[in-house]
Chains A and B, each alone.
Chain A
Amino acid sequence: MTLVPSANQKIVITPHLMEKKMRVFAQTMIGVGAVTVALLGSTPASLAQGRTDVVVAAPWHVNGMDPASDGYTFQRMEVAETLVDAGPDGALRPGLATEWQVGDDGLVWRFRLRDGVQFHDGTVLNAEVAVASLNRAVTQPGILQNLPISEIAADGDTVVIQLSQKFAALPATLANYTALILAPASFDQDGKVISMIGTGPFKVAKIKPPSSLSLTRFDGYWGEAAHVEAARYISTSRAETRALMAESGDADLVFTLDPAGYSRLSLLEQVEVKAVPIPRTIVLKLNLAHPALKEVEARQALSLAIDRDGIAAGILRFPDAAASQLFPPVLADWHDPALPPLSYDPDTAREKLAALGWASGDDGILVRDGTRFALTLRTFPNRPELPLIAAALQDQWRQVGVELDVSVGNFSEIPAGHQDGTLDVALYARNYGLTPDPIVNAAEDFGAGGADWGAMNWDAPDVAAALSKALADSDPAVRGPAINLAVEAIQRDLPVFPIAWYMHTVAYPDALQGVVIDPLERDYELSKLRWAE
């Protein structure tokens, strides 16, 4: 028997040392164990009784503090406010401005500021401060950048905005989150936002980009103070996690549930779920310059080949969500119940395509003049239902002999493809409620030249002219017919195909009272929430 490698020798020589080490190890283990037990024993705030805070979980990141990029979070969490506010029905109401009017020429707008408004740092809101905030906002990418503004100036307690052409939707545009009014100390010399100091009922206690935002109640708020003392926003990218957080009570207001999570939560007694229709439509954008898509009959045939009811019931699990026209019923001025609905009729679709000269090839795909009817669809996974809908479209179009390649990538591929003309079709969800008045989006998307998230190579000067008229004039007698003309033309010409209307899904505990779901997704109304005794 050979013996004694040096390593073992060493251990044999110093058994006491080894025992001491073992003892230290055991003590360390016991210590760590005790810490674990202590962590388990102390209940996290979100599970405690007698709650004085609310926790919001939603999929969006808090990347930073700039209103241009992250303003929506600070607007929804009631940290900062805009001059003009909007109710859940989209009707404008006073915000930091109590009243506004436009001069007879339609070019000079005056917004009178509310008295006694304080920022979270104690600074008082006056016209100069608001003007500085707005002047910065119009230089940032976003809907303000395209406004025909020639000057923003202060006049006493009034903000005066001088336009170069009439723009009746100005107040609605100023309700957008990119127009949040921040205190002077929020900006550094270069205009970069270095802290988020607003006027809302909650002030920022801590921001941990990209994951969370902690707020405390602001006692100097000009309006009715919040009932809860604190609020927290947790960016939770996965829908499964959000649903479990709603179920376990780790989050109180949980937004955007997946169909499975929604049905599971709706079975629970202690959790309420709500689905609210919002002005966001799942849209298929088409490049009308594409040889196969330029005839309106071809587009009508492709639209007839889409089973919208099937998609709404099978993928979105909300049968009412099937879009019979572009604008959902929640946008009353823009939804026309009399419009003939978009229907599903694959047989008629085949006939229409045959009439255009498309004949079935060897592999069942249509061919005309030696060219196959093949298209590539671009979409993105951030909204998990989009790739599923894309797969359904691929199958449904195949039934009528159209080959569709699905490319799931980054959503920026869609505007990039619009700009360089390489796009065939794209599937996305468009928010027509970015401003309380959809005219701003509609005029951009379907106006002259189309837009990144709107029509592409659609030649419809009458629609562009009508939308410009509606944009310039707030008189219902002018606006109404102009909007009708545009809505009818979109339904007839199909520059984009509406697929489904969005439902905004929310879950919250039974004990949370005062929950109001804003269809415009502008405000979580946290200050109105209270816990049942």
Chain B
Amino acid sequence: MTVRPGFLQGAVWKSGPFATLGRMALGRLVQALLVALVIGIISFVMMEALPGDAAYRIAAGRYGYDMLTGTAAEQVRIELGLDRPAWQRVADWVGHILVMDLGRSAVNGDPVSHALSHQLGHSVMLAVGALFFALIIAVPTGTIAGLRPGGAFDRILGGLTVLLRALPAFLLGIILMLFFAVQLGILPAAGHGHGSHLLLPSLTLGIVLAAVLSRVVRNAVAETVASESFQFARHKGLSMATALRRHGARNAAVPVVAYLGVQAALLVEGVVVVESIFAWPGIGHALTHAIFERDVPMLQGTALMLGLGFVLLSFAVEVICLALDPRRRA
């Protein structure tokens, strides 16, 4: 195989978009490693700091209250070595994580990675579905409102946004269930296993996301339309639609994408509630139960996945912004 001379020293790697991308990727990789370590240790310390005896909590998670006794708790303490010093248990976890082993759940003894692959998959499906609904609701409505800021549509949308954002996700979920599953009977109320089960929880989360997103789209569009460059495009005779497509969409998209990245935090908060109301087996559900049951390996695993998810998401947002905005590629 012949390599073109100068390929590796080529200008494209030293500077230009690929170099920017490479620098970003390296930065994020370092960040991911730090995040992993910090999350693992912090979640351990936080669980240690909680009041109550971990052996009792774990035994409670395993055997339920009909069978939980002091004897069961002592058996769990011995089995899991909970009486060892905390530093030994942290060192254990770090040692395992170095060989990519997340350990076993304290409650059911299954490998954490096994549970996570199942639950993370469900949560990603839910997040993608929510994002899809958020975009198809927020982008058209926000754009129409942004074209006429202060107009009737803008005001109605503003009111709706406040109303929907003030509505707790679980209430919205129940309203949607009542309407689509009970009244119309076209969608299943809750559960998983069939594609249609994804629609209501995604729609619930999507609406919550869309509420604020539509305002961001509206502001971005309004700002773009008011900009001199856009006015110039209109003056040179382009129709509104063409001007928006050629001179508006890309400009307006940058803040919207950046905002969506920030919204991921909201998505996690919503996921916990929405997963529980729709009996959806995702990572939010796993996280809350890991905390209740003091399942430290499971908590560390879920928190790690969420942390790495954030790093990945920030990276994706940066890459998309880079693609959208050539000024950033310098």
A: residues with CB less than 8 A from B are 1-8, 10-12, 15, 18-19, 22, 29, 32, 36, 39-40, 42-47, 55, 57, 60-61, 63-64, 66, 68-69, 72, 141-143, 145, 178, 192, 208-212, 214, 232, 234-238, 240-241, 244-245, 247-251, 380, 382, 409-413, 415-416, 418-419, 428, 431, 434, 451-453
Contacts and interface: CB of A to CB of B under 8 A. Distances in A.
B155 interface: no
A194 B222 CA distance: 60
Interface in B51-76: 52-53, 56-57, 59-73, 75-76
B193 interface: yes
Interface string B227-248: 0110010000000000001110
A12 B243 CA distance: 10
Interface of B: 52-53, 56-57, 59-73, 75-76, 107-110, 115, 118, 132, 136, 174, 177-178, 181-182, 185-199, 228-229, 232, 245-247, 249-251, 276-281, 285-286, 289, 292, 325-327
A410 B52 CA distance: 9
A66 B79 CA distance: 16
A426 to B, nearest CB: 11
Given A42-B196, A409-B52, A410-B52, A415 B69 contact: yes
Given A249-B185, A409-B52, 15 more contacts: A6-B327, A15-B246, A42-B195, A44-B194, A46-B188, A68-B63, A142-B72, A143-B67, A208-B192, A209-B110, A236-B279, A238-B279, A244-B174, A412-B53, A412-B68
- Classify the secondary structure of B's interface with A: helix
Contacts of B132: 32
Instruction: For the complex of A and B, list the 6 residue pairs with the smallest distance between their C-beta atoms, beginning with the closest.
Output: A141-B72, A64-B108, A211-B281, A412-B56, A412-B60, A248-B181
Contacts of A6: 326-327
B52 A22 contact: no
Question: Which of B52, B190, B195 has the most chain A CB atoms inside 10 A of its CB?
Answer: B190
16 contacts: A7-B326, A18-B246, A18-B249, A18-B250, A22-B249, A36-B199, A43-B196, A66-B108, A211-B280, A234-B279, A237-B276, A244-B181, A248-B188, A248-B189, A434-B66, A452-B68
Contact of B245 (A18, A55, A209): A18
A403 to B, nearest CB: 22
Contacts of B289: 61, 210
Contact of B279 (A143, A178, A235, A380): A235
Contacts of B70: 415-416, 418-419, 452
B56 to A, nearest CB: 4
Contacts of B278: 241
Contacts of A63: 61-62, 107-108
A308 to B, nearest CB: 22
A209 B108 contact: yes
A8 B247 contact: yes
Indicate the member of A5, A245, A453 with the most B CB atoms within 10 Å: A245
A212 B192 contact: yes
B277 A2 contact: no
B202 to A, nearest CB: 10
B229 A4 contact: yes
B69 A141 contact: yes
Contacts of A11: 246-247, 250
Nearest to A43: B196
* Best-buried of A22, A237, A409 by chain B (most CB within 10 Å): A237
Given A5-B229, A44-B197, A237 B182 contact: no
Given A210-B289, A412-B60, A245 B190 contact: yes
B53 to A, nearest CB: 5
Contact of A244 (B53, B63, B189, B292): B189
Contacts of A42: 195-196
B71 A145 contact: yes
B108 A451 contact: no
B137 to A, nearest CB: 13
